[in-house]
């Protein structure tokens, strides 16, 4: 192996090593967030009252020594507050909102559940690098499916009904009057059910190729009391049944598809003449340099471990990636036959796009 002699700038090296320490601590702490979520440790601290490790362990039926180490890690990362004078730990209102309240639009443990599940599949992704093959969504660790729902749901709660649907031309009125909606790539059905509960005169069908996710979505619809007008079916994006849909939705999934152009063409075939296609994608600029930031880092990471392998596992395998950007998405949508395409709105994490025949 060749040895390279380079002059080292100590200040730059120190800066890099500081970044490394932060990243290593975050990587190790990701599993601890999942543990805290699964064991109810955050929920037991949701009221903000100070607790000792022994008190928290008693509340949650856990071992106090493990809990002390967990609390110390969380305090070091700023996820839990520590009072050195009283030797107690607590959640601030903001920490509780993000870590202990699952209905919150800022709830984050699902993101860590998704991330740790993806990391468990590293050997499969390493092999895909060597072969150029794919790793299907269905081949991932089972926690990825639940983690994905819990990761995306807070954003849907915060934005789908208050801003995304109102930003579409004439769609809210149709939904209020009674529309037929397809949610393609629906996963566990979180987006489908949010819309169904808000628009009781409309009918909704969720489609996903992953049978286990569809079964989960059906159970969720029954529990929500909307199964009489919400159904879920196993079907891929290019072959889901039905036509005359007033609205077709794809939330954070178009870039995962092997043949997104073919999927776009099928959407066009199934839409009503004045129908709308809502496409929600991860926020990205059109150039790599536009995305070299913390949000881009998250999405490129997820794209490497999940999205690109998923696309490569399907026919065509276009592999748009999670940072495709609006211009590339426009190319895909118009290649499928759509003539109207615009950015309806956006968030720091999402591009919300509207396509019409």
For residues 32 and 52, give the distance between their C-alpha atoms in angstroms, rounded to a whole number: 18
**CATH label, 21-98, candidates 2.60.40.10, 1.10.10.10, 1.10.3720.10, 3.40.50.300:** 1.10.10.10
264 and 244 Cβ atoms separated by less than 8 Å: no
Nearest to 260 by CA among 250, 269, 245: 250
| Architecture in CATH for domain 111-161+170-356 | 3-Layer(aba) Sandwich (3.40)
pLDDT band at 127 (very low <50, low <70, confident <90, very high): very high
For residues 353 and 357, give the distance between their C-alpha atoms in angstroms, rounded to a whole number: 14
150 and 109 Cβ atoms separated by less than 8 Å: yes
Q: What percent of the chain has pLDDT over 70?
A: 99
For residues 269 and 228, give the distance between their C-alpha atoms in angstroms, rounded to a whole number: 26
For residues 321 and 326, give the distance between their C-alpha atoms in angstroms, rounded to a whole number: 12
Beta strands (DSSP E) in the chain are 81-83, 88-90, 180-184, 203-208, 230-234, 245-251, 271-282, 340-346, 350-356
Give the global pTM: 0.94
- Joined together, the tokens standing for residue 45 give 């601290």
227 and 218 Cβ atoms separated by less than 8 Å: yes
Rg over alpha carbons for the chain, rounded to the nearest Å, is 22
SS3 state of residue 124: helix
Question: pLDDT tens for residues 86-111?
Answer: 999 999 999 999 999 998 999 999 99
All CATH 1.10.10.10 domain ranges in the chain, comma separated: 21-98
Nearest to 349 by CA among 306, 302, 312, 314: 302
Nearest to 106 by CA among 97, 114, 116: 97
**DSSP H stretches of helix in 225-319:** 260-270, 294-302, 308-312
Nearest to 357 by CA among 197, 223, 247, 283: 247
Whether the per-residue pLDDT at 5 is higher than 70: the answer is: no
DSSP letter (8 states) at residue 86:
T
Looking at residue 227, what is its pLDDT? 96
State how beta strands 230-234 and 245-251 pair.
Answer: unpaired
Whether the per-residue pLDDT at 2 is higher than 80: the answer is: no
For residues 353 and 278, give the distance between their C-alpha atoms in angstroms, rounded to a whole number: 6
321 and 307 Cβ atoms separated by less than 8 Å: yes
Q: CA 179 from chain center: how many Å? A: 26
Q: Report the residue count for the chain.
A: 357
pLDDT band at 4 (very low <50, low <70, confident <90, very high): low
| Average of per-residue pLDDT values in the chain | 97
Question: pLDDT tens for residues 276-320?
Answer: 999 999 999 999 999 999 999 999 999 999 999 999 999 999 999
Whether the per-residue pLDDT at 1 is higher than 60: the answer is: no
Looking at residue 254, what is its pLDDT? 98
Looking at residue 89, what is its pLDDT? 98
């Amino acid at each position: 192996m060749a040895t390279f002699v380079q002059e080292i700038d100590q200040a730059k090296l120190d800066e890099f090593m500081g970044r490394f320490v932060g990243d290593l601590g975050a990587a190790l702490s990701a599993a601890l967030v999942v543990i805290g979520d699964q064991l109810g440790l955050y929920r037991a601290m949701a009221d903000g009252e100070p607790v000792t490790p022994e008190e928290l362990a008693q509340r949650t039926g856990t071992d106090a020594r493990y809990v002390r180490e967990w609390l110390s890690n969380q305090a070091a990362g700023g996820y839990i507050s520590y009072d050195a004078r009283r030797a107690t730990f607590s959640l601030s209102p903001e920490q509780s909102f993000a870590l202990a309240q699952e209905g919150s639009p800022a709830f984050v443990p699902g993101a860590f559940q998704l991330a740790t599940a993806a990391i468990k599949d590293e050997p499969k992704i390493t092999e895909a690098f060597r072969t150029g093959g794919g790793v299907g969504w269905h081949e991932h660790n089972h926690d990825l499916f639940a983690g994905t729902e819990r990761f995306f749901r807070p954003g849907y709660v915060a934005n789908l009904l208050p801003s995304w649907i109102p930003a579409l031309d004439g769609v809210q009125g149709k939904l209020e009057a009674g529309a037929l909606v397809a949610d393609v790539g629906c996963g566990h059905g979180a987006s489908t059910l949010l819309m169904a509960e808000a628009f009781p005169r409309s009918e909704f069908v969720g489609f996903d190729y992953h049978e286990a996710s569809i079964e989960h979505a059906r159970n969720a619809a029954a529990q929500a009391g909307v199964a009489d007008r919400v159904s879920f079916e196993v079907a891929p994006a290019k072959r889901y049944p039905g036509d005359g849909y007033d609205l077709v939705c794809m939330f954070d999934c178009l870039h995962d598809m092997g043949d997104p152009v073919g999927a776009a063409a099928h959407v066009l075939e199934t839409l009503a003449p004045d129908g709308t296609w809502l496409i929600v994608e991860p926020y990205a600029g059109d150039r790599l340099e536009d995305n070299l930031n913390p949000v881009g880092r998250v999405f490129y990471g997820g794209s490497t471990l999940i999205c690109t392998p998923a696309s490569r596992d399907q026919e065509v395998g276009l592999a748009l990636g999670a940072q495709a950007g609006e211009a590339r998405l426009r190319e895909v949508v118009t290649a499928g036959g759509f003539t109207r395409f615009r950015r309806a709105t956006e968030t720091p994490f999402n591009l919300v796009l509207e396509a019409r025949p």
